[in-house]
Structures are given as C-alpha cells and as structure tokens.
Structure 1
Amino acid sequence: MTPAFGMVAGEASGDLLAGLLLGGMQLRWPQLRAFGIGGPHMARLGFDAWWPHDKLAVRGYVEVLRHYREIVGIRRRLRERLLSTPPQAFIGIDAPDFNLDLELALRSRGVKTVHFVCPSIWAWRPERIEKIRRACDHVLCIFPFEPALLHGRGVAATYVGHPLAGVIPMEPDRAAARATLGLQPGDEVLAVLPGSRQSEVQALAGPFFAAAALLQRERPGLRLVVPALPALRGRIEAAAARAGLRDGLLILEGQSHLALAACDLTLIASGTATLEAALFKRPMVIAYRMNAISWQIMRRQALQPWIGLPNILSEDFVVPELLQNDATPEALAGAVLEWLRAPARMAAVQAKFAVLHHQLRRDTARLATDAIETVIHS
C-alpha cells in the first residue's frame, strides 16, 4: 500500500522545515502521497496543498482573533477531509495553536499523530504539555534538551536535530554569495530581514529601513540586502522608499539564505530566521514588535528573559534584542554600529555559533523517518 500522510505547515519557516522532512520521507517511501496545508518548498516535492500555508501565518493574540473564523473553518474542513479517508499518519509541523487541536481530534478517531518541532514549553505556556500528551503519539524535537522534558510527562519524543543545521554549510561561502549578488568582496553588507508575515513586515519594515538609512549616513558604503517573499515585496519596497533608500539597496525574491551567506551581519525579526542567521555564523540584532495587547499577554507568560533562539540556546544575551518600544530606528542603528565597530566581538560570537551548529547537526531525515515508521507500525 502506498503510504499517505496528512501534513500541515503554517508559515514560511514551517514550509521550509516540512520540505526538508518530506524529502527524507520520500527516500524511505518513494511512492508516498502527502496532502494538507503547505507552501512552495513542499509543493516542489509533489505535496498536494489543499490550502496555502500563508492562510495560517498569523502571530499574536489580537492578530489571530481577526482571522479566527477563517482559521477555525479551515481546520474543521481539513479535519473532516482527513477523517473521511484517514492517512497512515498526520504530521503537524510547528504551528501548535492550529495543529495540536487538529491532532487531538484526529488521534481521538484513531489517526496516528506526529508533531514536528516541540512547542516552546520551556520558554512560555508550560501548561501546554498536557495537551501535547493527549494530542501526539510522538514529538520530533529539534533541540537536544527537549525530549527529557517530554518524557517526564509521558510524551514519546525523539531528538532529530535541526534540519537546517544539515543544509547550511559549516563554513558558508561568502565570496560566492557576493559574486552571485554582484557585491564586491570588500563591501560592508547588512542583511535586513523584517519578517515573513504581513503583520511582521507592517510592524518592522518601517523602523528597520529608517535604521538602515541612519546607518548609510554613518557608513556611506554600506550595502543593504533584503530578501522578500513575493507576496510581501510590494510592502517592503514601499517601506524602503519611504525611508529614502535607493543607493546600495538590493531587494531579492526570497533567497534569505543567499542574503545571510553574503552579509557581514543582519538586522532581523525574531523567529526561525534568527537560528538560520546563527547557523550562517552571522552576528545580528534581533527585534520584534506586535500588537500592544498581544505583547503584554506574551510578556506575562514568558519563562525566561530571551526571545531570540540564538540567545535561548546559548542561555545568554550573545546578541542584542530590541523589543516593542525599544525597537526604534536610532536604537537599532546603534546596535548594528556596535557590531561593526567591534570585529573581535563579531569573531567571538561566530565561534559560539559554530559550536551551536555542531550541536544541532544530526541525520535529521533518517532519525525523523525512523520515528515516523515506528509510529505508523505501533
């Protein structure tokens, strides 16, 4: 029988992770069918997307409420469709607010469920572990400390490493990336990544580009590289124009990895992209803004002082974080300048990131598919 898998990836980072996982699954099951909610990385591997992944790309309590009826409607129709012809297993990739409720409903009706990327119970909302226990047959963990937390509460889990750690080279080829982009070896290059969600770009593109304009006045030769998802490119171009940025600005169609390989450092929205930047060994300034009510709720539920993944994994503020009202253009520009004026500090954080890369590098495809196979035959 040809194995069939339901899958949901809820945003650009989830689509990337799901594409890497799906590639490994196809090595194990060449004839598999996969369907559900996904994006372009999954589509290139033959994934049948019943809905596009960006329907779920919403972060923050108030922001989710605005789209609540549509999202709940999608989940209901997806659940009914999966239960009408049950797959061998359902694999939810991140997006826990959407996927855990779906997994709970599917598992109660006999569908095996796997969740890829442990929800951040170690950072906030620890009470969620009880829902994970009820919803998931198995959790695939991307950080080494997570399985012990889950095992202690009766949740089967496997550390599979982070897929990106196996894709991003230990020593990125900066010269080749710059040649591809038409940049010179000696250029000073800042990658500007204001997020992959519309709400993030709306909140961060303005201060990011205003900061970039200040930086170019301080350092006239500074080049700016901005990866933009096609759906968000217009907003990004408009924000750059409002900041008066024209010279030294290169807006790319996606290609965030090329931008990170080419740059000296990055001004970046908090999220999975910060881990990608760390794997590229790039110093960074992390920033985030969201609706004020959402921010107050999330801040009260936080269990630790960091929000950026490189800092969380290092258990230290190895890179600066500027959040909400602190993320002003002047503060952002000042934090970037502090990096540029301290090459020894940049080298030290690059060495820390190399150690982190080794810790996260595993044969993720094999470990994940071994676990999935165990689940579907249990």
Structure 2
Amino acid sequence: MSSRQFAMVAGEASGDLLASLLIDGLKPRWPDASLVGIGGPQMLARGFESWWPQEKLAVRGYIEVLRHYAEIAGIRRHLRARLLREWPQLFIGVDAPDFNLDLEAALRGRGIRTVHFVCPSIWAWRADRIEKIRAAADHVLCIFPFEPALLAEQGVSASYVGHPLANVIPMEVDRRAARRALDLDEDRPVVALLPGSRRSELRYLATRFFAAAARMRRSQPELQFVAPIIPSLRAEAEALLAASEMAGAIRLVDGRSHQVLASCDVTLIASGTATLEAALFKRPMVIAYNMNRVSWHLMHRQQLQPWVGLPNILCSDFVVPELLQEAATPQALADATLAWLDAPDRVAALRQRFTQLHGELLRDTPTLCADAIEKVLQA
C-alpha cells in the first residue's frame, strides 16, 4: 500500500463540506496522496474515491439509527476490514462520531494513526463521549476556540483550526445578486426554508415549515419563499410540498443553500450546522427541530446547556428563537419568523453580533489542518 494513502469518512452533507476543505489543505502538502473512504460530492470533485454512497450514513436520532443499524454496522465492518488490509498512512474521521469514533478506536488499536475532525459536542451533551475520544483519536481538529483546552484537561491532544465555513462564507454578500441568480424578485422580502439535509429531518420538519409558510403568506402576501433541497431528497420534498397549501408557492432548488441564505431576509431553519451558516451570512433566523419522541427524550436528558442551536451556544445567549419538538407548531414558527421582519433594530444588533462571531471563527483552516496532521504523521 502506498504510504500516501489517507482514508476519510464524512457521513453527511455538512461533513462533505468540512472534508472538502480539509482536502484543500492536504493536496498541496501531499500532492501524490490518494484519498479514499466514504464521502460526498464536494469530496468527489477533489479526486476522492468513495467506496460507499455518503447517504447511507446520513441518519440522525436513536430510533432512526436503530432502523438502519444493520446496514450501517455492516458498512463499518467491511470498511474496517478493507482499511486494515490496505493500511493507510492516516485515517481521518470527519464528524459523524457515532460511526467514526468506534472505527477510529479499532484502527488505532491496530496501529493506524487517527485524527478526528470536529470535536464531538461534549460541552453541549453526551459528556461521556470523552472516553471514546481519548481511545479513538491521536489528535482532534477543533472548529471552536474553547475546545482544545477542554480536551487537554482530559488528556486529549487537539488543535484549534478555525471553522471552515468562516472561510467559505464572505463577511459581506450581495443579497440582490443572489436573488437574481435564484430568479427571485429583488424588491420583495424572501423567507428561506431549510428543513434539513437528512431524510428523517425532511419527514419531521418540511410539513411544519410549509404550513408555517402558508400562515406567513396569509399575513404578508408579498413574501417569497425558497427552499434548498439535497438533490437525492427532491422527489420526497416535492411530494410533501404538493400535499401542502403552498404547492407552487415555494421555490425548491437543488442544493445552493449558501445562495439561498445570501438571498433571504430571514430563515426558518433546522437545528444543525446550517444554523451556523445562517449566522455567518448574518441572517436572522428561527431554529426549529422535531424528531421521533423517544429519540428526543433520550437526547434531551443528556443536554448540558440551555441552548440547542449553534449560534446561541456560541453566543451563550438566546440571540435567536429556538422552537423544539412540541413547541415547533406551524403558527409558532410563522409568528417567530415574521417577528424578525418587523424589527429592523433587532436585526441590526444581531448582524453586529454575528459579524463578531465570524471574526472569531476565521482562520486559515486548510493550512492549520495540514500542519496538525503533519505533526501526527511525524510523531
């Protein structure tokens, strides 16, 4: 096996973006390296060889994972066996801790060096994961500045590399140009609907979001609605929209979530990485989440902070509303979203806070990742 093979697993759309930026740091440093494992379209565009479709791992929530457990466990078992045969110089698990940490521990136990990119949210919930991290990773690449110190206290080597999204998203964006690119009216307000990148999220949130949009349109008929959808979920999204009051009134676009966020005045958005993207676009938002009741109960019991959305966690305050589980009714979602359109001073203050946050997260992430990985390889 070539000493220049790096293996990676990125389990969902946000991980694909993170991993693609990591690859941007690896390729100049090791131009002859082959990159293999499981990844998405942005990784593939950079020459990555994916042995399984990334969508196979994009499952969230205890009950949802249980339903797909046999298939996911089979993929991990076959992937582990193949990696032990091929013996890559390094394995990098990109987020997806439920899949990657056990895999990393097995590989590291056999002598393969491992890096985990994105510290699991031990500061938010599931503090018990620290033992798994210690066993799994030779080094952790952290995307939030307070994380390396927390890990160091637990004996885990880590580096702050900045948040990759802070480099991808510019400090200022041209809202009108984004609207033109999406064929939206430049002079009418835009509401972006982002119900999530997983099939389970779409199933639990899209109908609520579409019903909320109907209520918003009744209150303010001039509103425009646009929703970016993962292409593999488009048929399901179209069926849900066709069954709603908003059939024909919401523009569904394949991907292009950044362009959609750039275009909007406010977004109704599923909790997850997309909320941080919205913050970096300096957009007001309403964060929502709804999932299987049993999954919610189990996750909620382990929550360590009062906030769920990343913008609120990073600002240590409820700077944007969170409507979760039973609270995420169509009427409540509509009211909270419309409230932003009637509060320009509140929007201006939020924009200032998000600009400050953007600066805190802005680093040369690809280079810092490559620097840290080089030290791991030389250890």
Q: Give the TM-score, by structure 1 length.
A: 0.98
Distance, in Å, in 1 between the alignment partners of 2:250 and 2:291 is 26
Q: Which moved more, 1:334-343 or 1:115-124?
A: 334-343
**1:7 aligned partner, one-letter code:** M
Q: Does 1:24 align with 2:31?
A: no
Q: Which secondary structure state, in structure 1, belongs to the residue aligned with residue 363 of structure 2?
A: coil
Contact 2:242 2:248 in 1 (8 A): no
- Over the matched positions of the two proteins, sequence identity in percent amounts to 64
Distance, in Å, in 2 between the alignment partners of 1:217 and 1:233 is 26
Contact 2:101 2:132 in 1 (8 A): yes
Q: Which secondary structure state, in structure 1, belongs to the residue aligned with residue 87 of structure 2?
A: coil
Contact 1:114 1:140 in 2 (8 A): yes
Q: Does 1:42 align with 2:22?
A: no
Matches within 5 A, 1:1-378: 3-246=4-247, 248-378=249-379
Distance, in Å, in 2 between the alignment partners of 1:185 and 1:70 is 46
Contact 2:16 2:42 in 1 (8 A): yes
Contact 1:222 1:248 in 2 (8 A): no
**2:38 aligned partner, one-letter code:** I
Kindly state the Cα deviation for residue 257 of structure 1 after the two structures are TM-superposed: 0.4
Distance, in Å, in 2 between the alignment partners of 1:169 and 1:83 is 41
Q: Deviations over 1:4-34 (max 9, x none)?
A: 1010000111011111111121121112101
Distance, in Å, in 1 between the alignment partners of 2:295 and 2:184 is 40
Q: Which secondary structure state, in structure 2, belongs to the residue aligned with residue 161 of structure 1?
A: coil
Kindly state the Cα deviation for residue 371 of structure 1 after the two structures are TM-superposed: 0.4
Contact 1:2 1:33 in 2 (8 A): no
Count of residue pairs brought into register by the alignment: 378
Q: Which secondary structure state, in structure 1, belongs to the residue aligned with residue 262 of structure 2?
A: helix
Distance, in Å, in 1 between the alignment partners of 2:350 and 2:10 is 31
Kindly state the Cα deviation for residue 2 of structure 1 after the two structures are TM-superposed: 5.6
Distance, in Å, in 2 between the alignment partners of 1:104 and 1:144 is 25
Runs (4 or more) in structure 1 with deviation over 3 Å come to: none
Q: Which secondary structure state, in structure 2, belongs to the residue aligned with residue 221 of structure 1?
A: coil
Distance, in Å, in 1 between the alignment partners of 2:13 and 2:32 is 25
**1:55 aligned partner, one-letter code:** K
Distance, in Å, in 1 between the alignment partners of 2:18 and 2:278 is 15
Distance, in Å, in 2 between the alignment partners of 1:2 and 1:177 is 44
**1:42 aligned partner, one-letter code:** M
Kindly state the Cα deviation for residue 183 of structure 1 after the two structures are TM-superposed: 2.0
**1:243 aligned partner, one-letter code:** S
Q: Deviations over 1:150-172 (max 9, x none)?
A: 01111000000000101100001
Kindly state the Cα deviation for residue 185 of structure 1 after the two structures are TM-superposed: 2.6
Kindly state the Cα deviation for residue 246 of structure 1 after the two structures are TM-superposed: 4.0
Kindly state the Cα deviation for residue 247 of structure 1 after the two structures are TM-superposed: 5.1
Kindly state the Cα deviation for residue 184 of structure 1 after the two structures are TM-superposed: 2.8
Q: Deviations over 1:173-232 (max 9, x none)?
A: 112111111223321000100000000000000000000011011110100111011111
Distance, in Å, in 2 between the alignment partners of 1:108 and 1:224 is 50
Q: Give the TM-score, by structure 2 length.
A: 0.98
Distance, in Å, in 2 between the alignment partners of 1:152 and 1:247 is 54
Q: Which moved more, 1:240-249 or 1:110-119?
A: 240-249
Contact 1:306 1:312 in 2 (8 A): yes
Kindly state the Cα deviation for residue 251 of structure 1 after the two structures are TM-superposed: 1.0
Kindly state the Cα deviation for residue 85 of structure 1 after the two structures are TM-superposed: 1.2
Contact 1:13 1:272 in 2 (8 A): yes
Contact 2:195 2:209 in 1 (8 A): yes
Contact 2:10 2:54 in 1 (8 A): yes
Distance, in Å, in 2 between the alignment partners of 1:182 and 1:301 is 44
Q: Deviations over 1:100-127 (max 9, x none)?
A: 0000000000000000000000001111
Contact 1:138 1:155 in 2 (8 A): yes
Contact 1:2 1:31 in 2 (8 A): no
**1:236 aligned partner, one-letter code:** A
Distance, in Å, in 1 between the alignment partners of 2:236 and 2:189 is 25
Q: Which secondary structure state, in structure 1, belongs to the residue aligned with residue 320 of structure 2?
A: coil
Contact 2:3 2:88 in 1 (8 A): no
Contact 1:285 1:321 in 2 (8 A): yes
**1:321 aligned partner, one-letter code:** E
Distance, in Å, in 1 between the alignment partners of 2:182 and 2:62 is 38
